[in-house]
């Protein structure tokens, strides 16, 4: 009995470092403080941790998450957004999936001048146009002429007033930015 207890304790000690760590195939909930409300809407949400251990964040792309504790990931996100000069003094809150369930649905991230910025449920075949419409469409201040699509750390710009660009197919965790109209653009 004593040897069984000793074996159990040894195994528990080996597992301790894993407790609280973010795992691939799970999800994390991320929220940001210290930024304007419209910027908060672009970041806040649930993010799936890919099999390669990364999450795809708006504007900065892939960030390693698996194996980190939530507070370490929060500090890394703060540093990345500050270093990229996107936010001056962000504060991130990260909550790891503690229930052990994988995130059942994938999302694309929608930001900028749209009615409802934030995550949009991804379904196979979802187009760039459909995702923007699912987010309430562009606001009166938004333009569809210079929509930014961030995928895998690469950014492309599309004019969604052209039919061929409306059918661009999205992938899970893509980030979409609908920019503000320039003063000389038609209303």
Output the pLDDT for position 76.
96
Residues in the chain, pLDDT under 50: 5, 7-18, 99-104
57 CB-near residues (< 8 Å, 6+ apart): 30, 43, 47, 63, 77, 80, 175
> Would you state the pLDDT for residue 166?
92
Q: Is 31 exposed, middle or buried (0-12, 13-18, 19+ CB in 10 A)?
A: middle
List strands edge to edge, sheet with 45-48. 45-48, 27-33, 91-96
Q: Which CATH number characterizes residue 142's domain?
A: 3.10.560.10
Q: Are residues 10 and 91 in the same domain?
A: yes
Q: What is the domain count for the chain?
A: 2
Residue 103, pLDDT score: 44
Dihedral (CA of 110, 114, 117, 123) sign = negative
**CA torsion through residues 155, 161, 162, 163, sign:** positive
How much is the pLDDT for 2?
56
Look up tokens 């661009």; give the residue. 168
Domain, as residue range, for 48 = 2-96
- Give pLDDT, residue 165: 93
Tell me, what's the pLDDT at 38? 81
| The domain boundary residue, chosen from 74, 96, 118 | 96
| Residues 168-183: tens digit of each pLDDT | 999 888 999 999 998 8
- On whether both 85 and 126 belong to a single domain, the answer is no
Quote the pLDDT of residue 40. Answer: 84
């Amino acid at each position: 009995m004593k040897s069984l207890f000793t074996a159990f304790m040894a195994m528990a000690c080996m597992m301790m470092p894993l407790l609280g760590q973010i795992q691939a195939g799970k999800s994390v909930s991320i929220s940001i403080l210290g930024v304007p409300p419209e910027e908060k809407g672009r970041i806040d949400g649930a993010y799936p941790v890919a099999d390669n251990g990364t999450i795809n964040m708006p504007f900065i792309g892939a960030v390693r998450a698996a194996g980190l504790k939530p507070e370490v990931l929060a500090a890394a996100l703060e540093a990345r957004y500050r270093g990229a000069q996107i936010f001056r003094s962000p504060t991130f809150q990260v909550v790891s999936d503690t229930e052990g369930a994988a995130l059942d649905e994938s999302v694309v991230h929608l930001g900028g001048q749209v009615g409802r910025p934030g995550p949009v449920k991804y379904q196979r075949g979802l187009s760039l146009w459909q995702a923007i419409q699912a987010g309430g469409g562009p606001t009166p201040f938004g333009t569809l002429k210079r929509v930014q699509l961030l995928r895998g750390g690469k950014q492309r710009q599309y004019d969604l007033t052209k039919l061929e660009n409306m059918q661009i197919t999205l992938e899970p965790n893509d980030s979409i930015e609908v920019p503000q109209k320039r003063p000389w653009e038609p209303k």
